């Protein structure tokens, strides 16, 4: 991976981290407890509870992805960064731009 590709990737990671922090704030608002005193019908309450659980799952996934992106950002200057952990071949730069937290090439990830 060239120095220019690493710098492009570093910028992309910082962008993604910033936008992900905004998304986390929105998801945290959606995961607030549903108060029983709210005048919702039974079906509406069930729907609100279901939506809350979907938002909680999305929040967990987003936090996991942020942790992976932070790990990628901290290891971007290491020589082995951008190398597949399975086959030890270089991961395509386009894959790293799209999914900077990737640790496997397309072939190994699809197995």
Q: How much of the chain is in helix, strand and coil states, percent to nearest 5?
A: 65, 0, 35
Share of the chain above pLDDT 90, in %: 59
Predicted pLDDT of residue 79: 87
Contact indicator for 69, 17 with CB cutoff of 8 Å? yes
Length of the chain as a residue count: 111
Q: Which residues pair with 74 in a beta bridge?
A: none
Question: Of 1.10.645.10, 3.40.50.300, 1.10.3720.10, 1.20.120.910, which CATH number belongs to 3-109?
Answer: 1.20.120.910
Domain residues of the chain, as ranges? 3-109
Reply yes or no on whether the pLDDT at 19 is more than 80: yes
Cβ partners under 8 Å of residue 34, min gap 6: 40, 45, 48, 49, 52
DSSP state of 61: H
What would the pLDDT profile of 48-98 be if each residue is shown by its tens digit? Answer: 889 999 999 999 999 999 999 999 999 998 988 999 999 999 999 889 888
Q: What is the pTM of this model?
A: 0.78
Predicted pLDDT of residue 40: 61
Predicted pLDDT of residue 93: 86
């Amino acid at each position: 991976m060239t120095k220019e590709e690493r710098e492009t990737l570093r910028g992309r990671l910082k962008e993604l981290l910033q936008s992900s922090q905004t998304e986390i704030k929105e998801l945290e608002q959606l995961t607030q407890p549903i108060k029983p005193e709210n005048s919702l019908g039974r079906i509406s309450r069930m729907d609100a509870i279901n939506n809350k659980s979907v938002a909680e799952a999305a929040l967990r996934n987003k936090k996991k992805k942020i942790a992976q992106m932070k790990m990628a950002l901290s290891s971007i200057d290491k020589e082995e960064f951008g190398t597949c952990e399975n086959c030890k071949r270089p991961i395509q730069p386009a894959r790293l731009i799209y999914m900077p937290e990737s640790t496997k090439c397309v072939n190994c990830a699809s197995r």
